[in-house]
């Protein structure tokens, strides 16, 4: 009883009624789980360790442990000392739930382990003594205080708890009652509200509302058919000036090295999507200054590939890129900024983050250097599926608007815009001398379209 009623009593009386702390919506669910554990413990003290009570106890403990881990995980990635509410013995209140439910699981396991089979089958009622009666009355008092707090601070049904509740107040005019956090039907996922559908590069479509105005036309030079045995949809392209080779990546996790004309395969390598870090649904590829190939997935995970003199590729490392503003976004492109000694990624808009975030990472340790939201004067946020960086500009491939957007490297604002209306579903972009190469598909054929470089 002490492991259940004492935490609830402290949380309700001291933290709530005295110090003015109000539980958030997850705190209330954890508190309810602990109350149910207390009720189950009362039944066992009255009727013994019956199997139905034991199984119920385990179910409640597992549910409460899941809630506590879920609650803690929301804040565990924050900087040191940050969290929700105050500290209790150096830890935030919600983290104590993990200890509480694990302790209850262990204690129940020990009770079962040291009990004989006859005691588990015993149906004789236990006569309550003074301790049991005090426990029962304490339970009623604590529950009553919780009911009062819930009805006054959260409100009667259908009102529900808040994510960031106001302080406990005896003045009901200062309390907030809300139904905002009732769950809604959505695409099923065990990640619940964190579910954001992955981009499907093969089905991206044009959207006139994502076009920038006052665009010029790009001068088309030629189309080059990629080798027929390239597997998957080409999602990224990059050129290595030192070796005079082209790298392309596909959504099937294949990386190909091609000659400068993009018509001959020099070597190929399939990235293992599930080894160590999950690298799947590749959206970017570029050459590093040391000659390695950096492959990025929509998850912001990456793989480093070395290339020997025979163009054979070998994985030499992989990891995850950590962002802040783009943490709830997938990325559609990546590139190397040689002068800044940085890797760049560009996020894709979605239902949670309806904007584009340019993230910069240090080449030295792959840590985040800076982030900026890129503003576009369009009716809807464009889908960017390609990026290339020059000395003074960042070139973006606007897939949905069928445009090439040239950003000023200092201000990250558009300087020039060029229409490329002859493309179907443009993906990667790279630069060779005074030419821009864009990957596309036409009637199922993989091609590279070449235009005269406008900058």
For residue 156, what is the domain's CATH number?
1.20.1550
Q: What average pLDDT does the chain have? A: 88
Query: 238 and 321: one domain?
Result: yes
Q: Which of 320, 298, 56, 112 is nearest to 200 (CA)?
A: 298
Give the mean pLDDT of 193-207.
84
Whole-number Å distance between alpha carbons of 120 and 51 = 7
Q: Which of 369, 428, 280 is nearest to 358 (CA)?
A: 369
User: What confidence score (pLDDT) does residue 123 get?
Assistant: 66
Report if residue 234 sits inside a domain. yes
- Per the structure, the count of domains in the chain is 2
Task: Answer with the one of 179, 209, 229 that is the final residue of a domain.
Answer: 179
Task: Give the neighbor-by-neighbor strand order of the sheet with 301-307.
Answer: 282-287, 293-297, 301-307, 313-320
Whole-number Å distance between alpha carbons of 209 and 385 = 17
Q: Which of 294, 378, 304, 303 is nearest to 336 (CA)?
A: 294
Report if residue 314 sits inside a domain. yes
Query: 375 and 245: one domain?
Result: yes
Query: 68 and 11: one domain?
Result: yes
Query: 126 and 244: one domain?
Result: no
Task: Answer with the one of 148, 179, 210 that is the final residue of a domain.
Answer: 179
Query: 126 and 245: one domain?
Result: no
Tens of pLDDT, residue by residue over 67-124, are 999 888 877 777 666 677 666 777 777 888 899 999 999 999 998 888 877 766 666 7
Cβ 276 vs Cβ 255: under 8 Å: no
Find the CATH number of the domain harbouring 270: 2.120.10.30
Report if residue 191 sits inside a domain. no
Report if residue 190 sits inside a domain. no
User: What confidence score (pLDDT) does residue 77 get?
Assistant: 72
The H-or-E segment that residue 448 falls in is strand 445-452
Query: 171 and 263: one domain?
Result: no
Task: Answer with the one of 179, 212, 238 that is the final residue of a domain.
Answer: 179
Q: What are phi and psi of 367, to 5 degrees?
A: -90, 155
Query: 172 and 252: one domain?
Result: no
429 vs 198, higher pLDDT: 429
Report if residue 188 sits inside a domain. no
133 vs 185, higher pLDDT: 133
User: What confidence score (pLDDT) does residue 455 get?
Assistant: 66
Query: 432 and 356: one domain?
Result: yes
Q: Which of 35, 18, 3, 214 is nearest to 107 (CA)?
A: 3
Tell me the pTM. Answer: 0.74
Report if residue 132 sits inside a domain. yes
Domain that holds residue 405: 201-452
Tens of pLDDT, residue by residue over 337-362, are 999 999 999 999 998 889 999 999 99
Query: 139 and 244: one domain?
Result: no
Q: Which of 194, 177, 363 is nearest to 288 (CA)?
A: 363
Query: 152 and 237: one domain?
Result: no
Query: 153 and 208: one domain?
Result: no
Query: 227 and 157: one domain?
Result: no
Least confident of 174-178, 234-238, 376-380: 174-178
Report if residue 24 sits inside a domain. yes
**Residues in CB range of 44: below 8 A, 6 or more apart:** 50, 53, 54, 57
Report if residue 138 sits inside a domain. yes
């Amino acid at each position: 009883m002490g492991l259940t009623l004492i935490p609830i009593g402290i949380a309700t009386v001291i933290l709530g009624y005295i110090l003015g702390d109000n539980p958030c919506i997850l705190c209330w669910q954890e508190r309810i789980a602990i109350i149910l554990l207390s009720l189950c413990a009362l039944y066992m003290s009255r009727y013994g360790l019956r199997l139905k009570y034991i199984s119920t106890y385990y179910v409640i403990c597992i549910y409460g442990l899941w809630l506590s881990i879920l609650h803690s995980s929301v804040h565990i990635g924050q900087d040191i000392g940050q969290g929700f509410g105050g500290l209790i013995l150096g830890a935030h209140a919600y983290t104590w739930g993990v200890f509480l439910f694990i302790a209850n699981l262990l204690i129940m396991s020990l009770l079962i382990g040291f009990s004989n089979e006859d005691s588990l089958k015993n149906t004789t009622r236990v006569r309550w003594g003074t301790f049991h009666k005090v426990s029962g009355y304490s339970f009623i008092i604590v529950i009553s205080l919780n009911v009062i707090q819930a009805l006054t601070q959260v409100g009667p049904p259908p009102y529900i708890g808040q994510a960031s509740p106001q302080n406990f107040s005896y003045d009901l005019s200062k309390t907030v009652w809300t139904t905002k956090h009732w769950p809604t039907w959505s695409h099923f996922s065990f990640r619940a509200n964190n579910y954001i559908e992955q981009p499907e590069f093969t089905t991206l479509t044009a959207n006139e509302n994502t076009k920038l105005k006052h665009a010029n036309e790009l001068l088309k030079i030629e189309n080059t058919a990629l080798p027929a045995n390239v597997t998957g949809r080409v999602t990224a392209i990059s050129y290595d000036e030192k070796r005079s080779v082209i790298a392309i990546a596909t959504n099937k996790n294949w990386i190909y090295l091609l000659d400068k004309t993009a018509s001959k395969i020099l070597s190929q390598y399939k990235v293992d999507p599930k080894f160590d870090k999950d690298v799947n649904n590749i959206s970017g590829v570029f050459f590093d200054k040391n000659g390695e190939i950096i492959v990025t997935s929509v998850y912001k995970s990456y793989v480093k590939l070395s290339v020997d003199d025979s163009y054979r590729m070998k994985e030499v490392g992989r990891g995850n890129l950590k962002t802040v503003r783009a943490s709830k976004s997938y990325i559609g492109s990546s590139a190397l900024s040689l002068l800044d000694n940085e890797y760049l990624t560009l996020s894709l808009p979605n239902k949670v983050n309806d904007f584009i975030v340019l993230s910069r990472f240090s080449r030295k340790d792959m840590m985040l250097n800076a982030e900026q939201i890129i503003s576009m004067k369009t009716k809807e946020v464009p889908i960017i599926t390609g990026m290339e960086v020059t000395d003074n500009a960042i070139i973006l491939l606007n897939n949905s608007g069928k445009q090439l957007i040239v950003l000023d490297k200092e201000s990250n604002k558009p300087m020039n815009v060029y229409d490329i209306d002859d493309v179907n579903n443009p993906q990667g972009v790279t630069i060779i001398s005074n030419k821009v190469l864009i990957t596309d598909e036409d009637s199922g054929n993989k091609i590279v379209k070449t235009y005269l470089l406008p900058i």
